[in-house]
Structure formats: C-alpha cells, structure tokens
Amino acid sequence: MEKKIVKTTCTRDCPNNCGILAWVENDLVVKLTGNKEHPINNGRTCVKCNHYLERVYHRERITYPLKKVQGKFIRISWEEALDEIAGKIKEICKTKSPESILYYQGFGARTALKLVNRRFFNLLGNTTVTKGTICGGTGESSQNLDFGTRISHDVKDYENSNSMILWGRNPVATGVNLVPMINNIKDRNGKVVLIDPVNTQTAPLCALHLKPKPGTDAYLALALSRILHDEGVEDNDFLQNHCLNYEAYKRVVYSRTVEEYATLCNVPLEQILEVAKVLKEMKPTAFVLGWGLHRWEYAHTTLRAIDALGAAAGSIGVAGGGVSQGFEEYAPYDWSIWGDELQPKRKRFYMQLLGEELKNASPKIEMAMITAGNPVSMLPNANLTKEALSEVPFLVVVGHFLDDTGIMADILLPVTTFLEEKDIAASYGHSFIGPLNPAISPIGECKSDFEIFMELGKRFDFAAEYVKPLDEWLEIIMKPTLERGVSLQQIFDGGVYNPDTPKVPYLDKNFPTSTGKFQLMNDFELPEGRDLDYKYQLMSIAPKEWLCSELSLEEQKTLLPVKINTEEGLKLGLEEGKVCIVENQFGAIRCLAEFDGEQRKDLVVIPRGGWGQAGRNINELTRGLVSKVGDGTPYYETRVNVRSM
Ligand code: SF4
C-alpha cells in the first residue's frame, strides 16, 4: 500500500486559506488535517474541512463531461465537449462578435493559474467579462481612499493587542484562525468586544456584544469618536500630523451628540461608554472587520467611519492596532497575465446585476462560460439571474455538481478540487502564499481549469502564445514574487509570507495616498433604508456549516432555518421548528422557524448558499444593487415579512 502525506492549501472561498495535510493511501485521501507548520492556521481546520472529503468523493459529483440533449444530460468525451465549445466560439466570433460571448469567473478558487482563464477570453477579442464583486470590494475601495491601499495586520500581531473590536466579524463561523488570538487577548486580561446586529456564535467569546440596528454602524463609530474627542483622549498627534481632512472630520463627528448617535444606531448609551472605556484604557486596540459591513449600498460610509475611529483611537501604524479587513489575494501575481490591456474597450457586466445585464445586452449574449461560481445561487435577485441565463443560447459551466447553475448548462465540464491540482494560493485573509501539491489523481475524468483552458487554447490560432506547461505559467505569473528572492520550490515545500507585505502596516506613518497622509472621511451620507413597509431586515449570512453554495442535494433535504426573535415569532403566530413563509416583492420561500430570545426584533437571519432546486435559495429574495463605492453587492438592502403557513 502506498501511503503519503501531502502538504497543500485549502483554496475555498474563505479568508483562512489554511495549510492542509492530505493523508493519502493508494491514491485515496483518507483524512485531512491542519498543517501544524503553517504559520496562520498552525494545525487548525474547520468543520467545513472535516466534511470536505464527502464532497470530493460524493456520488452527486460530476466526473465526466455532460451535454444536454432534449432537456437531458448525456455523457460525452472531452474531445467532443471541447470541439463543440471551440466551434461555437469561432462561429460567434465570425458571424457575430466576440462581444456576444460572456465569461463569468466566480470567486470559488482564486489561485495563481486562474489568471490564464481570462487571458484566453482576452486573446479571443473583445469578449464581455464581469466587473464588481459579491465579496469585499467596498471595503477595499474604502480603505484605498483612507490608507492609500488596503493592507491588514498579520494575525500574529494581535498578540500585541490589549483589546480587539470584532466589527461584523464572526470568527467562530468564518475565521477559525482568529479564535486563538481572541483567547490570547483574554488570557492577558485584555478585552474583546463584538459589534454585530446578529447574535452570532462568536458572542459568547466576547466581554461585550453591541447589537446596532442593521446598517447604522457608522453612527456608532462616530459616537465613539465623539466621546474620545469630548474627553480629550483622541490621538491628537496622529490626527493633526498624519491625517488629511481632520477639521472636516471633526465637523462630521460634532454634527450630533453622543445621545443622538446612540438613538440612531439603537445601542444603549451605557454600552457605548463601556466600549469607549476600552478604547481609552486598553490600547492598542485592533479593529477587525467582517464582510457583512460591505453588504450595504452606503457601506463606504460605515467603513470609512470605522477607519477614522481607528485613527482617533491611536490604532493606525502601531503594533497590536490596525483596522484590518483583508488582503489583496492577487498581490503575489503578475496581473498583466489577465491580458485586460489587450481589450481596453471591452464591455463589462456588473456581476451582481447579471440577470439585468443579460436581458439588456446589445448585442445579445450568444454564449456564456462560467467557472468557479454558481451565480444562480450566489448572486442577488436569483429569479432574474436564472431567467436571463436560461435565455442564453449556449451555456458552458465548469463545476463540481449539478447545482443551480450547473443544471442549466448546455455543456458541463467536470473540474478538479484543490486536492487534485498543482497550483499556488494567496489569500484575502492573510499574506501567506501556500502551495497546492496534488494529493491524488483527478477523480474520474475531471480536469483543472488550467488544463481545460490549455486544451481549448490548442484549438485557436493564438495557441503558440497561450499554451505552455503548467510550471512555465507559474514562473510567469509568480514573477513579481520570485524577483523578491522567493523560489517556487520554497512555496511548494510549504509556503512563504509575501515578502512585500509588512506584518504591521504603516509603522512609519507614511501612506500611499496622493498626499502621503491618512485621509479621514470629510462628509457623511447614510440615507434611511429601503422598503420600510416590510418589517424585517434580511441578514443572509455565511453559515458555519458550509461554504457559499458548496452543497449537495442530499444535504439540502430540510428547509432553510429562519432565525427570528422569540417574542416576534410568537407574536406572528409562528411555532418553532414549523414551516413559515418569508416573503417580499421579489418572491417567497418556505423556511423553518427558529427562535432566539437574544436576537434583535427588527431582523431575521437566514444562511446563504442554498439551492433553488431544493427550495433553499435565499437570493430569490435579495435585491440586485451595486454599492455606491467599490462596486460591491448590498445584499442586506433587503427587507421581508414573515408569516405562518
Ligand atoms: S474552509 Fe476555510 S477555515 Fe476551513 S479549512 Fe478551508 S480555509 Fe481553513
């Protein structure tokens, strides 16, 4: 029996990108454990990792190419599939225009080699691609405005923090590597505060949990800043000497009293004063932000107010401080490989408005290819997305399962998992670059995105420029990092920190803004929410148990839970564990009522990622909208009513 342990990296759409050991016997992974040598996860993994092998070897997994014929999928060979796709592309380019071809690249896995996917479409001509993000674009753009560029503190730097504000972050569900840091701060008699309207699994770990009215966190940040200013304990040196717009920011802070802010964010004044005390007395404070904060139309107002609070609290450019919300996951790569400069005039659809964009497209989209994503489940306004995709004459989906998007494909290409691939992975949650060493042979006939695009590339006249061996492409893509003295061997032996990312950013108080200063917000705009005639804000959150829409049908036999405040639930005549209807102007779904006495009364919580074919797609109710800054997706700008059956 051949046994081996392979060092690899989890590449799922998760900020942790844990170092993983795959324990292999006779080309079969028998278990996955955390890699103790990995400096970020130090051997930890999560519940999703514990179940990942079920997904890899699941009987619903698609392991050979499928073609839809008269509404039914039939098995075809790779040659047939790729010939048909290449033939269709050539026909559209010749008889119509490359613009009639849409490439949608999801965020399912953001490894180095994925850069060549878009290059393929750029070499074809001015094909249509997407813009915007359903993830953290708003936060990145906001921090680019304030800091010049978004860089977070290394997770290990929290060993220097005496307090931490987890703002909209739920490490127990989505950030396992932060949990030891929370405990580390508590062990040193520091304080960890949670600010989140939702009663999450992280709340029991925190000394204090503030639950602002959804979408009003900016008022809370301004209240805290106002208290620091009123008491004369703001970081005056930093604000005066290293910030732009200080006077304008102060005018914003002083535009309301602390009591008015408390009313607007609906947090008891005593709790706000308690957090202010932490900021004054337990420095340095690390502000660690989550992704829920991004899911509002005016998210930048909130994010910039928190950045500015970090400045007032003396947290910027100091060890143990920071306002951290993520890293540039493409930082180690040569971005020119995407090839976007080849097509400067091409059309880009907002990904979060995919349905609308497809419906309004001129020229009409004749073919779409989707990789690393399940837009029907993950994009807002799912019914429109589904309807519009069903009108695309030729749809190619590269995926693992017949999920809500896969099931619509004309051709479905089965793709490998990270356990079957060689590649390199950076992260949006830290700056460690990890290896993907293939643990097993591809399951069935699955191929990686890289192999699929190289095979397709061979069928076009740009093959000589495009088709290269995997290692050669890695050398090209990783050039900026290799030039900093890192070798591919080092990465494949276990990984390295990105040499360009500091552990504590902005120690020298020089910021890559046009003025070299930290740029404080100088105005404030936060309109009242929409659809107030619906009673509850819908918080469609990332659950602890699964990642995005990585599910099987077998796992989705029960309805989605809807968590509602106990008193509210009883008032509505709901019964715990019984079916109820959650509805709004976009649709209605059936859920199982779950009561929580600690939850705010003005919101309901439903996990995201379920499939419509199982009656579990919460995005059938969410609004398609683009945030004002950063082209983000304001999923939480959705309100619903709940009623019993
Ligand atoms: S899903 Fe996230 S936390 Fe879990 S193993 Fe993968 S990277 Fe780590």
CB contact at 8 A, 143 and 307: yes
The arithmetic mean of pLDDT across residues 245-249, rounded, is 98
pLDDT band at 433 (very low <50, low <70, confident <90, very high): very high
Q: What is the H or E stretch that residue 309 is in?
A: helix 299-312
Query: What residues does ligand 1 touch, defined as CB less than 6 Å away?
Result: 10, 12, 14, 16-18, 45-46, 48-49, 176, 547
Q: Of the candidates 406, 347, 410, 356, which has an alpha carbon nearest to the alpha carbon of residue 382? A: 356
Q: What is the mean pLDDT of residues 494-519?
A: 96
Residue partners of 66: CB distance under 8 A and separation at least 6: 73, 74, 75, 76, 409, 411, 412, 414
Peptide bond into 284 cis (omega under 30): yes
Q: Domain spanning 153-325: which superfamily?
A: Dimethylsulfoxide Reductase, domain 2 (3.40.228.10)
Helices (H), ranges, 104-211: 115-124, 137-147, 171-174, 179-187
Residue 270: other Cβ atoms inside 10 A: 8
Instruction: Assign a CATH topology to domain 3-56.
Output: Phosphorylase Kinase; domain 1 (3.30.200)
Instruction: Quote the ligand 1 centre to 335 CA distance (angstroms).
Output: 25
Bridge-based pairing state of the strands 587-596 and 560-565: parallel
pLDDT tens digits for range 3-20: 999 999 999 989 999 999
| Cα of 15 from ligand 1 centre, angstroms | 8
Probe target for ligand 1 pocket from 21, 29, 40, 49, with the most ligand atoms within 8 Å of CB: 49
Residue 343 has pLDDT above 90, yes or no: yes
Asked if residue 381 lies in contact with residue 355, where contact means CB atoms within 8 angstroms, the answer is yes
Residue 124 to residue 97: CA distance in whole angstroms: 10
CA distance 229 to 193: 21
**Is 214 within 8 Å of 526 (Cβ atoms)?**
no
Quote the ligand 1 centre to 17 CA distance (angstroms).
6
Decide if pLDDT at 234 tops 90: yes
Q: Kindly list the distances between the CA atom of residue 589 and the CA atoms of 58, 92, 586, in Å, as whole numbers in the listed order.
A: 27, 39, 10
What 3-state DSSP class applies to 630? coil
Rounded to the nearest whole angstrom, what is the distance from the C-alpha of residue 51 to the centroid of ligand 1? 11
pLDDT of residue 529: 85
Has residue 260 got a pLDDT over 90? yes
- Per-residue tokens: 447: 């191929």
ipTM of the complex: 0.99
Residue 136 has pLDDT above 90, yes or no: no
pLDDT value of residue 189:
97
CATH class of 536-644: mainly beta
Q: What is the mean pLDDT of residues 278-300?
A: 96
Mean pLDDT of 110-120: 96
Q: Give tens-digit pLDDT for 368-411.
A: 999 999 999 999 999 999 999 999 999 999 999 999 999 999 99
pLDDT score recorded for residue 108: 85
Ligand 1: residue of 11, 16, 42, 52 to mutate (most ligand atoms within 8 A of CB) is 16
Q: Where are the beta strands (DSSP E) in 417-457?
A: 423-425, 432-436
Q: With b meaning 16 or more CB within 10 Å and e meaning fewer, what string describes 255-264?
A: ebebeebbbb
623: which DSSP letter?
A: P
Q: What angle do CA 469, 472, 473 make, to 5 degrees?
A: 90
According to CATH, what is the number of the domain 66-134+333-489? 3.40.50.740
- The whole-angstrom separation of Cα 110 and Cα 330 is 8
Ligand 1 pocket mutation, candidates 9, 21, 31, 176, criterion most atoms within 8 A of CB: 176
Residue to mutate, 9, 36, 38, 45, ligand 1, most ligand atoms under 8 Å from C-beta: 45
Q: How many angstroms separate the CA atoms of 516 and 148, rounded?
A: 8
pLDDT of residue 109: 83
Q: What spatial distance separates the first Cα and last Cα of the chain, rounded to whole Å?
A: 57
Identical fold between 66-134+333-489 and 153-325: no
The CA distance from 444 to 101, in Å, is 29
Mean pLDDT of the chain: 97
3-state SS, residue 348: strand
Omega of the bond leading into 363 within 30 degrees of 0 (cis): yes
Q: With contact defined as beta carbons under 8 Å apart, do 93 and 357 qualify?
A: no
Instruction: Give me the pLDDT at residue 1, please.
Output: 78
**In the structure, what pLDDT confidence band is assigned to residue 421 with cuts at 50, 70 and 90?**
very high
Find the length of the chain: 645
pLDDT average, residue stretch 117-124: 97
Q: What is the residue extent of each domain of the chain?
A: 3-56, 66-134+333-489, 153-325, 536-644
| Predicted pLDDT at 631 | 96
Residue 100 Cα to ligand 1 midpoint, Å, equals 37
Model pTM?
0.96
Residues 56-72: tens digit of each pLDDT: 999 999 999 999 999 99
17-37: burial string, b at 16+ Cβ within 10 Å, e else: bbbbbbebeeeebeebebbee
**Tokens coding 334:** 């040569």
Position 540 scores a pLDDT of 97
- Tell me the average pLDDT across 464-474: 98
pLDDT at 481: 97
Q: What mean pLDDT comes out for the span 345-368?
A: 97
pLDDT at residue 475, as a whole number: 98
- Tokens encoding 286: 């690390």
Q: Which two tokens stand for residue 236?
A: 């005056």
The predicted structure's pLDDT at residue 110: 85
Confidence of residue 645 (pLDDT cuts 50, 70, 90): confident
